[in-house]
Amino acid sequence: MEDSAAKPGVQLAGVREMLLPVTVAISFVLYYFAELPFGVIVAIAVPMVLLYLLAPSWGARSLASFDRDVVALLASGRRRDLRGRFAIAVGMRLFSPPALVAERRGMVAAESDRPREAWVGYRSAMLEYGKGAPLRVLLGYAHASYALGEDGEAIRVYRELLEGAGQLPGVQRNLAHCLVRRGESVREALELLDRVRGQSEDPQRRAELEMVRALAHAKLGELERADELLEKQAELEGELAESIREEIRQTRAGGTAPRAD
């Protein structure tokens, strides 16, 4: 998609763009084929024309209201209500710029633990924004790719983000995990983990980093070191920890040799 079509402040949703031609077509049919009185046709057409004129304002207000409510819902831990709030944001979904709507669809899906829907939403937003896609959209897309195990795509976007934004501990951690899962550049992954080790004060995050490190050593055939790290994090729970333990079990069972470069 060309950049001219990727400006969310200019491009409007297709629904509004169709209102005028649809109004003209309906009026033509009603007047010449149904032979309705002119006054009836005007009464039908005027609301559609008004909707066309008011659509940008309605879309903007609906978008602003949605964003405010999202902040409140996330702050109160009510993530399960996000999908319902998105569904009733009719003005936003119909008349806000497609890039902004797709971005919020991806955000709602990501916060609702629906990575496939998040991936679709953020990818649509990226296509609408074009080369000017903001950091939050690229991050959302990369994180959704990571959650789906689409490591090649996640690695590509994570590398682009690090080139442009510098130090992003969460991105570096996920990039390291992607590299390790693919069994390539495992030494580079360990270097990334070394860089972010001291940047997180969250015990859970630090423990997860050590779990990824354990997987890296297992991929390199350094099973003793992997076991040592695993033992230290034996009490760690969560989806990431369990997935890494399963990956290490599979690595023990056999597999292709990793690329350590």
Q: Enumerate the CATH 1.25.40 domain ranges in the chain, comma separated.
A: 150-261
Evaluate if residue 5 carries a pLDDT over 70: no
Evaluate if residue 261 carries a pLDDT over 90: no
Q: How far apart are CA 98 and CA 17, in angstroms?
A: 12
Evaluate if residue 4 carries a pLDDT over 80: no
CA atoms within 13 A on the CB side of 25: 5
Q: How far apart are CA 191 and CA 76, in angstroms?
A: 37
Q: How far apart are CA 99 and CA 105, in angstroms?
A: 10
Q: How far apart are CA 219 and CA 250, in angstroms?
A: 10
Q: Per CATH, is 150-261 categorized as 1.25.40?
A: yes
Neighbouring C-beta atoms of residue 124, cutoff 10 Å: 19
Q: Which is more confidently placed, 109 or 13?
A: 109
Evaluate if residue 85 carries a pLDDT over 70: yes
> What pTM, to 2 d.p., does this model score?
0.80
> What is the residue-wise DSSP string for 186-224?
HHHHHHHHHHHGGG---HHHHHHHHHHHHHHHHHTT-HH
Q: Which is more confidently placed, 61 or 21?
A: 61
The band of 10, judged by pLDDT with boundaries at 50, 70 and 90, is very low
Q: Each residue of 208-251: pLDDT tens digit? A: 889 899 999 998 989 899 889 888 888 888 887 888 888 888 88
The band of 196, judged by pLDDT with boundaries at 50, 70 and 90, is confident
Cβ(129)–Cβ(6) below 8 Å: yes
Cβ(250)–Cβ(211) below 8 Å: no
